């Protein structure tokens, strides 16, 4: 019997489900699962959750508490289905506030612990702004693991590794989107995909420089991008693309391997250097700002939903 691409991928890369859909997680049996405001909103719109959400909304002191309680409840349910990490995101509203990000991260961990889920199972997702990265530095020092998300540029990747982040989530598909919008006729297939090239560059640099930070490619537009990154530490994949990988057969070859030729890591970036590098990287600068706005747009929708349910 032919082996699916998904089964082959699992032999060389840790597969992570990018969803809050419990049925999809049961079906594909990933090692970890990631959530974000958009995925929490999708999960919250399921009719079966409405009564419980209404109860949470009514019992919460304010909308911020209600949003966090919903995220942790869904995360706790996911933790019962995966053996590894569950990623839960700090509000994108706090992307430029180091101290508030740290405080919210501690609050999320405490909520998980009250639900019986230990801190070692949780990755706190934080946007890869300068403030978010410095918050992650402090959290990691105090035993809270972090997932630095909305990562589009090499400067972000370097700063995250220097901060000791447990994991980074470089976005592949959104980088492709940016380039396709500017060069609609260009061939970006396979290894020509600029998002794939970005993750490969980061992966090679981390391995050669000896960083322990996990590289987890994210935000895929097609399974070709996933195939081109086979061998990456982790890949977080939507249920739609997991299904495509599960349905297709053929030979999947490993594309990324650890570089045994060590290099000296670049000098750590200070704040001014980081901001300059981001300013020079038009794509990364554009997509980071857009990503924060999009996550907040979905959080606003979730807040509106919870507000309506609280009055039921």
How many Å apart are CA 150 and CA 158, to the nearest integer?
A: 14
Cβ contacts of 10 within 8 Å, gap of 6 or more = none
Q: What H or E segment, with its residue span, contains residue 113?
A: helix 98-114
Distance in Å from the first CA to the final CA of the chain:
53
Catalytic residue among 10, 125, 207, 287: 125
CA distance 258 to 231: 9
Residues 6+ apart with CB under 8 A from 39: 18, 19, 20
Residue 58 has φ and ψ, to the nearest 5°, of: -70, -30
Contact 103/143 with Cβ under 8 angstroms?
no
Orientation of helix 154-162 relative to helix 194-209, angle to 10°:
30
The question of whether 192 is a catalytic residue gets the answer: no
The residues near 174 (Cβ < 8 Å, ≥ 6 apart) are 152, 195, 219, 287, 290, 291
Please give the C-alpha separations between residue 212 and each of 161, 196, 258, 287, in angstroms, as whole numbers.
Answer: 8, 21, 12, 26
Q: For residue 288, give both structure tokens.
A: 């980071």
Q: Are 216 and 232 in contact (CB under 8 A)?
A: yes
Give the catalytic positions in this structure. Answer: 125
């Amino acid at each position: 019997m032919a082996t699916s691409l998904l089964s082959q991928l699992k032999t060389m890369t840790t597969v992570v489900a990018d969803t809050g859909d419990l049925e999809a997680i049961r079906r594909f049996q990933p090692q970890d699962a990631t959530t974000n405001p958009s995925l929490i909103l999708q999960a919250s719109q399921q009719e079966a959750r409405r009564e419980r959400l209404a109860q949470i909304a009514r019992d919460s002191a304010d909308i911020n508490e209600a949003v966090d309680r919903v995220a942790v409840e869904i995360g706790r349910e996911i933790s019962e289905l995966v053996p590894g990490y569950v990623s839960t995101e700090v509000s994108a509203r706090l992307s430029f506030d180091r101290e508030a990000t740290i405080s919210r991260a501690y609050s999320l961990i405490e909520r998980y612990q009250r639900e019986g889920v230990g801190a070692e199972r949780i990755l706190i997702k934080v946007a890869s702004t300068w403030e978010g990265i410095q918050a992650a530095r402090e959290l990691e020092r105090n035993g809270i693991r972090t997932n630095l998300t909305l990562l589009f540029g090499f400067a972000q990747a370097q700063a995250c590794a220097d901060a000791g982040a447990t994991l980074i989530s470089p976005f592949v598909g959104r980088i492709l989107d940016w380039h396709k919008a500017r060069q609609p006729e260009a061939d970006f297939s396979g290894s020509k995909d600029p998002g794939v090239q970005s993750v490969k560059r980061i992966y090679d640099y981390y391995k050669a420089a000896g960083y322990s930070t996990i590289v987890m490619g994210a935000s895929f537009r097609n399974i070709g991008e996933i195939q081109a990154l086979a061998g990456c530490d982790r890949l977080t994949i939507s249920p739609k693309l997991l299904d495509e990988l599960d349905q297709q057969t053929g030979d999947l070859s490993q594309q990324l391997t650890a570089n045994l030729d060590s290099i000296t890591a670049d000098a750590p970036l200070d704040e001014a250097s980081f901001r300059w590098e981001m300013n020079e990287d038009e794509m990364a600068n554009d997509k980071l700002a857009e990503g924060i706005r999009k996550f907040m747009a979905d959080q606003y929708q979730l807040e509106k939903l919870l507000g309506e349910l609280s009055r039921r």
